[in-house]
Structure 1
Amino acid sequence: MIEAAQRLQTVEEYYFSKKLREVRLLQANGKPIINLGIGSPDLQPPQKVISTLCESLKDESANQYQSYQGLPELREAMVSFYKEQFQVFLSPATEVLPLMGSKEGIMHISMAFLNPGDQVLIPNPGYPTYASVTKLLGAELVLYDLTEEQNWMPDLELLEKQDLSKVKIMWVNYPNMPTGAKATEGFFIRLVAFAKKHQILIVNDNPYSFILNDAPRSLLSIPGAKDVCLEMNSLSKTFNMSGWRVGMVLGKSDYINHIIKVKSNMDSGMFYGIQKGAIEALKCSKLWFVSLNNVYEERRKLVWELADSLNCTYDKGAAGLFVWAKTPAFLKSEEFVDLLLKEHDIFIAPGTIFGSQGEGYVRFSLCASTEVIEEAISRIK
């Protein structure tokens, strides 16, 4: 028997990978499961994106290997998008790198900058991949707590009381997943100053800016941010293209070049047709965002009603694709989720999969039709 690498002992199978097997088994046995646990958009991408993909298949180069750095016109579209939406000015030649989704970016960035023994500041609660990738690379996790009392923002003054000499990377994620908290410009200014003082690379994971958020913001818009910051973004949520696997990392050319060294040794270029479709998506007018958010706003009101019927509390000012809600005081997160699945055939995500600070919270996804959410409400009532 060939033994697995020791690094695998530091991580477990992704929660949703395991839990969805259970959900599928229940469905196979005839259970009418309503899945409000996953943030996979059920809506269609813009029609012109699909049409462009189909048309691109006729191009002579459609089936050839593509550049590791993406088509020049894709990089142009990405920086134009950042200029129009965030007033951030970047070079398409040197300051943006297309990714096959943000999860790939987390690995590539970590491999480009971390040595075994380096420390990484990771939010609690936060996206589990930040921690798992850090462990796989032999770096050390340093969790920083996010709390409702602090509006789910890191306490930078408290962090500065720690020994930060070994910290190489700090992951932040605003608008935040899972909580939906929105960062202020003032917080981003303090964050950049913190990074410069302690020579820490801040990486902002920013895929939720345009979902139910009236003030999209980029960390790179802060003066001096490019010296110490990178930002990732994705087309998955903004344009309903999660299965297409299109993301990007943006920042200083020196940092991007380090990431290219990793990426070019680990995969090939993105499929040509997907790149052509992504270019069209990034050209969408503001009408796209308005129509998309009208759908999500209607769904969110229904999820609020569902949460109310379950005696959960939540913040109506939060952004993003989810509703982060506090469970009734007498129930822990996973107990609440299992009870809901057992008694009502409704699956939601427990807050604890995002860290210990998620205990006492659950996450509802907006990636289901109004009819499905109304059915969930009727089951509870």
Structure 2
Amino acid sequence: MKIEVANRLKHVEEYYFSKKLREVRELISEGKPIINLGIGSPDMSPPKNVLEAICEASYQENAHGYQSYQGLPELRKAMASFYLKNFNVDVNFNDEVLPLMGSKEGILHISMAFLNEGDAVLIPNPGYPTYASVTNLVQASPVFYDLREENNWEPDFEAIEKLDLSKVKLMWINYPHMPTGAAGSDDLFKKLISFAKKHQILLVNDNPYSFVLNQKPKSILQFEGAKEVAIELNSLSKTFNIAGWRVGMVLGNAEVLKSILQVKSNMDSGMYFGIQKGAIAALNLPDSWNIEMNSVYEKRRQLVWNICDKLGCLYDRKSTGMFVWAKVPKGKNENEISDYLLYKHDVFITPGTVFGSNGEGYIRFSLCVKEEKIEEVLKRIS
């Protein structure tokens, strides 16, 4: 019996890394010594006290039952305190913070809460592919806005104003930006808030790379008027090396979060108690944690820059985040180089076009690989 799939799937492909990592696993099973510089899954462990917190919590009475859809009050308080300490953003833990099972979950919940069929969504090009796929899943229409190197990977507002914005209801932004590593500026956030107010658009800043190789973490919520038009997603995955735990959050206007909760409360039955306790311990770590992590990423980034130099690629030394975004040599393209590295040198990297047409001519390296492995890549290509 053949059951026809829903129409929404006709415009959505399987996630690139889901497909490509399957191929990489097959190559490994054939004996290929693949080094994976493609995906941003932190390879380091969370701190010992964070692991102890989740273990100890697992022995508590009622730890294994259903939990609140809004998370433990202590978790929301920890998230609110984290934002006050690191961004000088004051949010009410009762109704302006909503824990999520990873910020990726939030992208779907936000879209389901606010988008109808026929609505339009502004999506960065290049950008995280999930913004477009989720927009298609809820049968809204993606409207891509260009980010280009010559404009520091920031939106060209004059160009956006020329687009048909009549049906645009939501705009995705992501600073520090993935995949380019552009940090974003105070002036940019102020312009975005003004733009969203002018066109009555919900602005969503996806901010999971706040602290990775970033000296000046920013939140859009720290700027005047932001709570009127903007919400922010954040995640503990990259900052605290707990990507597999699936802990994220959305912060901002209480009425907006109430609508998101309407969706979320029908999708899950609460986050595991032990994970919430571990997340609280992570959020209360001292600044020395980020300093220690960034010292590791800094060494790795220098080695990846050396790989780029060997390949004749250009890169921005001021970029942030756990990736290196590199421009391929003139006369070559991103797929040629990524295939060359995979099939000739057993090294997996990501071609820039995975993130949109403006990724043409670029490749992306992950820093989630130990130094000795990156040094091995250098040896192979030399």
Scaled by the length of structure 2, the TM-score of the pair is 0.99
Structure 2 residue identity aligned to 1:95: E
SS at match of 2:203: strand
Q: Does 1:99 align with 2:100?
A: yes
Separation (CA, whole Å) in 2 of partners of 1:41 and 1:206: 16
Deviation at 1:92, TM superposition (A): 0.2
Separation (CA, whole Å) in 1 of partners of 2:16 and 2:184: 27
What is the correspondence of 1:3-152 to structure 2 with a 5 Å cutoff? 3-152=4-153
SS at match of 1:238: helix
SS at match of 2:172: strand
Separation (CA, whole Å) in 2 of partners of 1:6 and 1:138: 9
Deviations along 1:242-294, whole A, 9 cap, x unmatched?
00000000000000000000000111100000000000000010000100000
SS at match of 1:323: strand
SS at match of 1:193: helix
Aligned to 2:277: 276
What is the correspondence of 1:136-215 to structure 2 with a 5 Å cutoff? 136-215=137-216
Aligned to 1:356: 357
Aligned to 1:330: 331
Deviation at 1:132, TM superposition (A): 0.2
Deviation at 1:162, TM superposition (A): 2.3
Separation (CA, whole Å) in 1 of partners of 2:77 and 2:65: 21
SS at match of 1:134: helix
SS at match of 2:233: strand
Separation (CA, whole Å) in 1 of partners of 2:10 and 2:188: 37
SS at match of 2:238: coil
Structure 2 residue identity aligned to 1:234: S
SS at match of 2:289: helix
Deviation at 1:216, TM superposition (A): 0.3
Structure 1 residue identity aligned to 2:222: S
Deviation at 1:161, TM superposition (A): 2.2
Separation (CA, whole Å) in 2 of partners of 1:163 and 1:202: 17
SS at match of 2:240: coil
Q: Does 1:248 align with 2:249?
A: yes
What is the correspondence of 1:220-369 to structure 2 with a 5 Å cutoff? 220-369=221-370
| Structure 2 unaligned residues grouped into runs of 5+ | none
Deviation at 1:163, TM superposition (A): 2.4
Structure 1 residue identity aligned to 2:189: F
Structure 2 residue identity aligned to 1:91: N
Structure 2 residue identity aligned to 1:132: S
Separation (CA, whole Å) in 1 of partners of 2:96 and 2:47: 27
Separation (CA, whole Å) in 2 of partners of 1:175 and 1:123: 13
Separation (CA, whole Å) in 2 of partners of 1:158 and 1:326: 24
Separation (CA, whole Å) in 2 of partners of 1:358 and 1:158: 19
How many residues are aligned here? 381
SS at match of 1:237: helix
Separation (CA, whole Å) in 1 of partners of 2:198 and 2:3: 47
Deviation at 1:4, TM superposition (A): 0.9
Segment drifting more, 336-345 vs 368-377: 336-345
What is the correspondence of 1:360-379 to structure 2 with a 5 Å cutoff? 360-379=361-380
Separation (CA, whole Å) in 1 of partners of 2:193 and 2:291: 31
Deviations along 1:228-252, whole A, 9 cap, x unmatched?
0010000000000100000000000
Deviation at 1:157, TM superposition (A): 1.9
Separation (CA, whole Å) in 1 of partners of 2:293 and 2:92: 29
Deviation at 1:6, TM superposition (A): 1.3
Structure 2 residue identity aligned to 1:296: Y
Deviation at 1:78, TM superposition (A): 0.2
Provide runs of 4+ in structure 1 moved above 3 Å. none
Structure 2 residue identity aligned to 1:87: N
- Give the alignment's Cα RMSD to 1 decimal: 0.6
Structure 1 residue identity aligned to 2:228: D
Percent identity, aligned pairs only, is 63
Structure 2 residue identity aligned to 1:242: A
Separation (CA, whole Å) in 2 of partners of 1:33 and 1:162: 44
Deviation at 1:156, TM superposition (A): 1.2
Separation (CA, whole Å) in 2 of partners of 1:14 and 1:190: 32
Separation (CA, whole Å) in 2 of partners of 1:230 and 1:10: 27
Deviation at 1:112, TM superposition (A): 0.4
Structure 2 residue identity aligned to 1:16: F
Separation (CA, whole Å) in 1 of partners of 2:163 and 2:325: 29
Deviation at 1:45, TM superposition (A): 0.5
Deviations along 1:133-187, whole A, 9 cap, x unmatched?
0001110110001000000001112211222121000000000000000111111
Q: Does 1:2 align with 2:14?
A: no
Separation (CA, whole Å) in 2 of partners of 1:162 and 1:55: 54
Separation (CA, whole Å) in 1 of partners of 2:165 and 2:26: 46
